[in-house]
Structure 1
Amino acid sequence: MTGTPQASSDSTRLVALFDWAVRTARALVYPTGWNGPVNADEHRPLGTGTARYIPSYHAGYRHRSAFYARDFAHQAVGAHVLGLATENTAMLRAFAASATPRHGHHPVWACNFDGSFHAIDYHGPDRFVRELPSVFELVDTVLRLYRWTGDRTLVDDPALWAFCRTTVTEFVDRRTAGSPVARGTGGGIFDGTASYHELSGERLVEAGDGIATQYRACLAAAELASAREEHLFAARCTERARELKRYFNDVWSRVRPTTAGVRPWPDEQDEDPANTVRGYTADGRPVTGWGREGSWFMPLKGIIDAGPRNERYLDYIAEQAVGPDAPPNAEACTYLPDVFFAHGRAETAWHWMTAVHDLRDRPHPVPEQGRNGDYPELSFTLVGQTVEGLLGLRPDAPSHCLSTLPRLPNAIGRLGVQDIPFGTGMLTLHHNSRSSSTLTQSTGTELNWEARFPGTHSTLLVNGRPRTPETRTRDGTTYSCTTVRIAPGRTCTVQVADPTEEP
């Protein structure tokens, strides 16, 4: 592990949240050479023996000696911020190695800390826990970590690339039935469920989180292929992603039950978000309404076209997430900050960060787990959400580039985080309100920093010198930006010349 990231802010609440998250997550790490139990769970607290662990950390229930695909994918960025690049790569390799032809190219759901298959979730090559979105999320995780580290291992490793390439081709092709969407079985978790929403009882063969994560996996595979200079395959993956998004927005999500069967909505302006399709059963019946992961993963992964329909659906998620069918477990709530940060809703995202933190001392629904705060996803995601969410840092280490966009809610006037691992070096980033950003590069190579600020502004100041910015719109968010080069050991401040301009 490298140095410990530290936050400074005028918000004592944020500093306390970040300090707790860093301290708690770092206590869940197993360094190289650690020896411990394998196959430990609620039925066998001492496991079935001991083994030498690979570099890894807890991602899943604390009382089990395993890291889980779904949890790992959600925790990986926070782990990177904590300096756990070696652990991330080792855990990715363990999952990729398990996606064998005998397993239908499906990685196992959980690995012991030595990389072997965890027994409670793996009963044999024909019977192990399978949740479709996790496969696609692992592909996207390879790309996200490559953007943070610039480590060519993540694109050149033959096993990792074979997993990514096979997932978006053969794995998907074996699971489609007349549409571009990969399907689950409609059965339980040992049969191959289509959704992370394990307890819905809906027997879905296609789900909103499944199609959304498949879309992001195609985009990720395209970028990874480009990094490998496999440009024809990259173009193929890009086209698959484009077709999947078009199909989702024009067809998949736009039918609803009627007395005569199903029909498309004639006018999206009249569409109630509660009637947006989020899944299909084996007999072709569309399923609408609130579906937790099946609902919020659709905007989270960006498969809904930007515009009024997406905004209405975000409103719907915000309402349902605090309603009678709110997520019953704290770890499910850890996705909600990501959903709202992705669409520029900093106030709602910050509300959910604090809500998750507030749940840390309450008992978890699974008694063996202990407190909610002992569940690793809470601490790791709060670390990542502070950096990628509140600071709005988007890395591109392979190109020696990054961008920032302050997403501070009204309760936070300033925020800085120092010792953020980036590429081969470290960064310190401060935002003073939403109109001034300061970046220091402690070590590494010369960087191109695109400093972004919400809204339209006529002039930005770069170390006090005026510059005319560009104005862009991305995913429905408009911002002004300029790019500056920063050498190692240097600091640069970019700010809005007139902070009174409307954001």
Structure 2
Amino acid sequence: MKRLLIIGCLLGSSITALSQGAVFTTTDTAVQQAYRWAAGMVQHYRGNPGDAVGPWYEAALPARNAFCMRDVAHQTIGAAICGLDKENRNMLRAFASHIAEKRDWCSYWEINKWGLPAPEDYRNDREFWYNLNANFDMLFACWKLYRWTGDKSYIQHPVFTHFFEKTANEYIRRWVLQPDSLFSRPLHPNAPSPFNKQDYFHRCRGLASYVENVPDLKMGVDLIAAIYRGLSSLSAIAQLNGEVAKAARYESMARQYREKIDAHWWNSGDQRYYTWYNSEGRFGTGEGEMFLLWFDALKDTARSRQTMEYLMAGRWNVETTSYLPVICYQQGYWQQARRYVLQLSDPATTRREYPEVSFGVVEGIVRGLMGIEPDAAQGRITTLYRGQSGDTAAVRGLQVMNTIVTVTHTGKQTVFQHSGKQPLCWRAAFAGKHDRILVQNVAMAARYQADNNGRIISFVEVKAPAGKSIQATIK
């Protein structure tokens, strides 16, 4: 561990010299130090592109030299910020290409640098570990990466479209995941025969949750949320590709899963969601609520606030905590988000060297604190500074939507520039209610929206020409 920390510090201090990924600077010295450490660790986890698997980064226990579907789905945006685009494309294609009927439309849960299923999770095609959320989480990751990068291969390459179609159809049927089967499905569908409950390659071949410590779990609310978000993403992809009927069908399917969450999983007595349902027909609570927010599956604002309050009051392992910076920023809990950034990057934090942590800190700062949200489907980039009053911050050299952007937040002003060949839409957003926002000293009427914590956000949308700085200011 000491070796990892030293390398991380060295890489963090020379991130500019690496000429890879975005450069972040801020007058908030604690956050600056957190980013330097996290960006350095991301580069440290970058694998050798000459390895048999091709370009990759670690997204599992470091000693395994491997990447896991759940971890990769979480780490992709942090990786993109740090310039690991080739790695993202290669790793996601590796997962998509290995979906197979002989594995009941599962892929490999974990692939190592030798291009093989990691032996820690795989014995053969009938005996292996697999969390059923993974296919839907990866589908969501592909959609997010398209929106972030503008790379249409994530939503149009045949290896991905095949994965999407099999996941949304055969996979759901094979694992009995239809909306009306969530409580009545077998405990171990597609189990090896003879079945050995003591062998975790038997009982965990198709876990119905990312939470792995509940005996005889039949369904996890996090899996339902993952299916909802995966199908919603697939609907958006179909819409973008002009497949209107398919888009409507997937959106209708997705809605049924979301409705199941609110109809059956809310515990009105404890004012929180149940997280699991077992073979005895009993609901229970534990981990898993994080994914209701990660997959944006909650439309009831009061319940999402209750869920946030519960999560922020708890103590979680570093994997779960690494989701909190970006979630807290997006949900409107800005000070808490900053505390999680600092907590995760603190040398005293147990297991902070787990790869998800550094990737999550990077994403939390750029997407969360800086509020940079590209959307290639809309041809728009949003900015919103969520930092402390009096601080300034900037991101330079950030590759998004086939261009490179620079964003500088200085108090009541944001300066935006991109190097692309065509103008794009810039949504300049600011905290608080402002009737007018000055763009290049010309007053524009603002529009408003509220985050889930009730904070009012004012914004305008303007055409940002290529290669020219444009500024937006509030009084």
Mapped partners of 1:190, 1:311: distance in 2: 33
Evaluate the alpha carbon distance shift between residue 461 and residue 98 of structure 1 in structure 2; reply closer, same or farther with a 3 A threshold. same
Q: Which amino acid aligns with 1:453?
A: F
Question: Cα distance, 1:220 vs. partner?
Answer: 0.8
Mapped partners of 2:25, 2:19: distance in 1: 19
In the alignment, what sits opposite 2:415?
438
In the alignment, what sits opposite 2:206?
192
| Equivalent residue in structure 2 for 1:339, among 320, 323, 327 | 327
Evaluate the alpha carbon distance shift between residue 298 and residue 160 of structure 1 in structure 2; reply closer, same or farther with a 3 A threshold. same
Question: Cα distance, 1:491 vs. partner?
Answer: 1.0
In the alignment, what sits opposite 1:125?
125
Residue 424 in structure 1 maps to residue 425 in structure 2: no
Note the alpha carbon deviations across 1:326-351, whole angstroms, 9 max, x for none: 22x32331012233223111111111
Note the alpha carbon deviations across 1:67-112, whole angstroms, 9 max, x for none: 1111111110010011111110110011111211111111211001
| Equivalent residue in structure 2 for 1:464, among 441, 444, 453 | 441
| Equivalent residue in structure 1 for 2:306, among 291, 307, 312 | 312
In the alignment, what sits opposite 1:42?
none
In the alignment, what sits opposite 2:96?
96
Count of residue pairs brought into register by the alignment: 443
Mapped partners of 1:28, 1:414: distance in 2: 29
In the alignment, what sits opposite 1:252?
264
Question: Cα distance, 1:363 vs. partner?
Answer: 5.5
> In the TM superposition, what are the counterparts of 1:87-486 in structure 2 within 5 Å?
87-174=87-174, 175-176=176-177, 179=180, 181=182, 185=187, 190-199=204-213, 201-249=214-262, 251-254=263-266, 265=268, 271-274=269-272, 276-288=273-285, 291-292=286-287, 294-319=288-313, 321=314, 326-327=315-316, 329-358=317-346, 360=347, 364=351, 372-373=352-353, 375-409=354-388, 413-433=391-411, 435-473=412-450, 475=452, 478-486=456-464
SS at match of 2:64: coil
Question: Cα distance, 1:181 vs. partner?
Answer: 4.4
Question: Cα distance, 1:461 vs. partner?
Answer: 0.7
What is the RMSD computed on CA atoms of the aligned residues?
Answer: 2.2
Relative to the length of structure 1, the TM-score reads: 0.83
In the alignment, what sits opposite 1:61?
61
Question: Cα distance, 1:272 vs. partner?
Answer: 3.0
Asked whether the 8 Å contact 2:408–2:414 carries over to 1, the reply is yes
Question: Cα distance, 1:409 vs. partner?
Answer: 4.1
Q: Percent identity between the aligned chains?
A: 26
Asked whether the 8 Å contact 1:450–1:483 carries over to 2, the reply is yes
Question: Cα distance, 1:448 vs. partner?
Answer: 0.5
Mapped partners of 1:241, 1:66: distance in 2: 32
Evaluate the alpha carbon distance shift between residue 473 and residue 119 of structure 1 in structure 2; reply closer, same or farther with a 3 A threshold. same
Question: Cα distance, 1:148 vs. partner?
Answer: 1.2
Q: For structure 1, which segment, 171-180 or 465-474, has the greater mean C-alpha deviation from structure 2 after superposition?
A: 171-180
SS at match of 2:88: helix
Q: Which amino acid aligns with 2:429?
A: R
Mapped partners of 2:397, 2:141: distance in 1: 22
Mapped partners of 2:447, 2:405: distance in 1: 25
Question: Cα distance, 1:407 vs. partner?
Answer: 2.0
Asked whether the 8 Å contact 1:456–1:479 carries over to 2, the reply is yes
Mapped partners of 1:172, 1:384: distance in 2: 31
Question: Cα distance, 1:2 vs. partner?
Answer: 5.9
Q: Which amino acid aligns with 1:179?
A: D
Q: Which amino acid aligns with 2:398?
A: I
Note the alpha carbon deviations across 1:24-68, whole angstroms, 9 max, x for none: 11122124324xxxxxxxxxxxxxxxxx23111111111112111
SS at match of 1:151: coil
Residue 80 in structure 1 maps to residue 96 in structure 2: no
SS at match of 2:387: coil
Asked whether the 8 Å contact 1:2–1:82 carries over to 2, the reply is no
Mapped partners of 2:349, 2:363: distance in 1: 22
Evaluate the alpha carbon distance shift between residue 297 and residue 409 of structure 1 in structure 2; reply closer, same or farther with a 3 A threshold. farther
Mapped partners of 1:53, 1:313: distance in 2: 40
SS at match of 2:386: coil
Relative to the length of structure 2, the TM-score reads: 0.87
Evaluate the alpha carbon distance shift between residue 3 and residue 191 of structure 1 in structure 2; reply closer, same or farther with a 3 A threshold. closer
In the alignment, what sits opposite 1:45?
none
Asked whether the 8 Å contact 2:59–2:72 carries over to 1, the reply is yes
Q: Which amino acid aligns with 1:206?
A: M
Evaluate the alpha carbon distance shift between residue 428 and residue 14 of structure 1 in structure 2; reply closer, same or farther with a 3 A threshold. same
Note the alpha carbon deviations across 1:183-205, whole angstroms, 9 max, x for none: 78468563322222222x34321
Mapped partners of 1:448, 1:177: distance in 2: 39
Evaluate the alpha carbon distance shift between residue 478 and residue 104 of structure 1 in structure 2; reply closer, same or farther with a 3 A threshold. farther
Asked whether the 8 Å contact 1:215–1:241 carries over to 2, the reply is yes
Mapped partners of 1:184, 1:402: distance in 2: 45
Evaluate the alpha carbon distance shift between residue 444 and residue 349 of structure 1 in structure 2; reply closer, same or farther with a 3 A threshold. farther
Question: Cα distance, 1:141 vs. partner?
Answer: 0.4
Note the alpha carbon deviations across 1:415-436, whole angstroms, 9 max, x for none: 2111111122211112224x43
Q: Which amino acid aligns with 2:235?
A: A
Mapped partners of 2:50, 2:381: distance in 1: 35
Q: Which amino acid aligns with 1:151?
A: D
Asked whether the 8 Å contact 1:388–1:394 carries over to 2, the reply is yes
Mapped partners of 1:178, 1:425: distance in 2: 41
Asked whether the 8 Å contact 1:387–1:393 carries over to 2, the reply is yes
Mapped partners of 2:180, 2:456: distance in 1: 34
Residue 16 in structure 1 maps to residue 30 in structure 2: no
Asked whether the 8 Å contact 1:185–1:193 carries over to 2, the reply is no
Q: Which amino acid aligns with 1:92?
A: L
Note the alpha carbon deviations across 1:230-257, whole angstroms, 9 max, x for none: 22111111112222222211x2213x5x
Evaluate the alpha carbon distance shift between residue 130 and residue 64 of structure 1 in structure 2; reply closer, same or farther with a 3 A threshold. same
